[in-house]
Amino acid sequence: MIDRSYKKLLKLNRFPHTWCPGCGIGAVLKNVAIGLKELGWNEQNTTVVSGIGCSGRMAGYMNLDAVHTPHGRALTAAEAIKTVRPDLNVIVLSGDGDLGSIGGNHLLHTFRRNPDITVFCNDNEIYGLTGGQAGPTTPEGTKTITSPRGEHHQPLRLNRILTAKSPCFYARTTVYHVNHFKTCIREALLYKGFSFVDIISDCIELNGRRLGFKTAHQMFKWFDERFHIVEGVRDHLENDELGIVKKEAEVEVKAEAKTEVEGKLEVLIEGLKLLTLEELKHFDGTNGKPIYIGYKGNVYDISASPLFQGEKRMRCHIAGKDLTRDIETAPHGEDLVYHFPMVGRLKVKAEAEK
Amino acid sequence: MKQLVSGNEAIFQGALRAGARYFTGYPITPISEILQQAATHAEEDPEFKFLQAEDEIAAAIATISASLAGAKTFTATSGPGFTLMQEALGWGHAVEAPCVFINSMRVGPSTGMPTQPAQSDLLQIKAGSAGDYYPIAFYPNSVEESFRLTITAFNAAEESLSPVILLADAFLSHLYEVVDLNAIEAEVVPRAKEPLGRSRRLFTGTAHDRMGNVKTNDPEAYRDWLNDLKDRHLGVAEKYPLFEYFPGKNSEILLIAFGITSRIISPLKEQFSVFRPIRIYPVLEKELREIASSYRHIIVIEGNDGQYASWVEWATGRKVMRVPCLGGGFKLQWIRSQIEARLGEVR
ipTM field: 0.95
Q: B interface mutation test: which of A57, A83, A109, A111 has the most B CBs within 10 A? A: A83
SS3 state at A34: helix
- The minimal CB distance from A81 to the residues B21, B69, B205 is found for B69
Number of neighbouring beta carbons within 10 Å of residue B193 = 12
CB contact under 8 A, B201 and A66: yes
The chain A residue lying nearest B214, using CA atoms, is A60
- Are residues B135 and B88 in contact, defined by beta-carbon separation less than 8 angstroms? no
The answer on pLDDT for A122 being more than 80 is: yes
Whole-model pTM: value is 0.84
pLDDT score recorded for residue A289: 73
In the structure, what pLDDT confidence band is assigned to residue A263 with cuts at 50, 70 and 90? very low
pLDDT at A164 over 90: yes
Write down the pLDDT at residue A306. Answer: 62
Chain A residues inside the 8 Å CB shell of B202: 59-60, 66, 68
Q: CATH 3.40.50.920 occupies which residues in chain B?
A: 244-346
| Residue in B with minimal Cα distance to A87 | B197
Out of 3.20.10.10, 3.10.120.10, 3.40.50.150, 3.40.605.10, the CATH code matching A253-353 is: 3.10.120.10
Q: CB distance A67–B196 less than 8 Å?
A: yes
CB contact under 8 A, A60 and B204: yes
Q: Write the CATH number of the domain with boundaries B244-346.
A: 3.40.50.920
Could B61 and A81 be called an inter-chain contact, meaning their C-beta atoms sit closer than 8 Å? no
Best B52, B65, B217 member to test A by mutation, with max A CBs in 10 Å, is: B65
B103, exposed or middle or buried, with CB in 10 Å at 0-12, 13-18, 19+?
A: buried
Q: Could you tell me which chain A residue has the CA closest to the CA of B88?
A: A70
Taken in order B68, B69, B73, B78, is the CA torsion positive or negative? Answer: negative
CATH entry 3.30.200.20 includes domain A5-247: no
Interface touch A85/B63, C-beta < 8 Å:
no
Q: Which residues of A touch B68 (CB under 8 A)?
A: 67, 81
| B23, closest residue in chain A (CA to CA) | A80
Whether the CB-CB separation of A51 and A99 falls below 8 Å is answered with yes
**B3-239 under CATH 3.40.50.620, yes or no:** no
CB-based contact B61 A80, cutoff 8 Å:
yes
Question: Smallest Cα–Cα separation from B12: which of B104, B89, B79?
Answer: B104
* Cβ <8 Å between B49 and A105: no
Tell me: cis bond preceding A331? Omega within 30 of 0 counts: no
Question: Average pLDDT in the A4-27 region?
Answer: 94
Question: Are the Cβ atoms of B200 and A63 closer than 8 angstroms?
Answer: yes
**Mean pLDDT across chain A, nearest whole number?**
85
Task: With CB atoms and an 8 Å threshold, state whether A81 touches B51.
Answer: no
Contact state of A83 with B51 under an 8 Å Cβ cutoff: yes
pLDDT of A279 higher than 80 = no
- How far apart are alpha carbons B82 and A102 in whole angstroms? 19
User: Which among B53, B55, B61 has the least Cβ separation from residue A69?
Assistant: B61
Out of B49, B65, B213, whose CB is closest to A67?
B65
Residue A301 has a pLDDT of 76
CA distances from B24 to A76, A346, B29, B34 (A): 11, 50, 15, 10
* Residue A354: predicted pLDDT: 46
pLDDT of A350 over the 50 cut: no
Query: Residue A321's pLDDT is what?
Result: 72
Residue B126: helix, strand or coil by DSSP? helix
Q: Do B88 and A70 touch (CB under 8 A)?
A: yes
Q: Does residue A259 surpass a pLDDT of 50?
A: no
In Å, how far is A68's CA from the nearest CA of chain B?
Answer: 5
Q: Which of A65, A87, A109 sits opposite B201 (nearest CB)?
A: A65
Please enumerate residues of B whose Cβ is less than 8 A from a Cβ of A. 21-22, 24, 49, 51, 53-55, 57-58, 61-66, 68-71, 73, 87-88, 90-91, 95, 195-206, 213-214
Type of residue at A208: G
Q: Do B198 and A83 touch (CB under 8 A)?
A: no
Q: Where are the domains of chain A?
A: 5-247, 253-353
- pLDDT tens digit sequence for B154-193: 999 999 999 999 999 999 999 999 999 999 999 999 999 9
In this model, does residue A162 exceed pLDDT 90? yes
CA–CA gap between residue A8 and residue A5 (Å, rounded):
6
Stretches in chain B below the pLDDT threshold 50: none
Mean pLDDT of A255-269: 43
Task: Choose among A68, A70, A79: nearest Cβ to B202.
Answer: A68
Domain with CATH 3.40.50.970 in chain B: 3-239
pLDDT of residue A58: 95
Q: Nearest CB to A47: which of B21, B197, B213? A: B197
Residue B22 has its nearest CB partner, among A66, A67, A84, at A84
Residues in chain B: 347
How far B44 CA lies from chain A's nearest CA (Å)?
16
Distance between CA atoms of residues A210 and A143, nearest Å: 7
Closest to B54 (Cβ–Cβ): which among A77, A80, A106?
A106
Closest by CA position to A74, among listed A58, A52, A54, A57:
A52
Instruction: Kindly report, residue by residue over A283-323, the tens digit of the pLDDT.
Output: 777 666 777 777 777 777 777 666 665 555 555 566 777 77
**CB-CB under 8 Å, B201 with A77:** no
Distance (Å) from the alpha carbon of A207 to chain B's nearest alpha carbon: 25
Task: Report CB contact under 8 Å: B21, A70.
Answer: no
How far B199 CA lies from chain A's nearest CA (Å)? 6
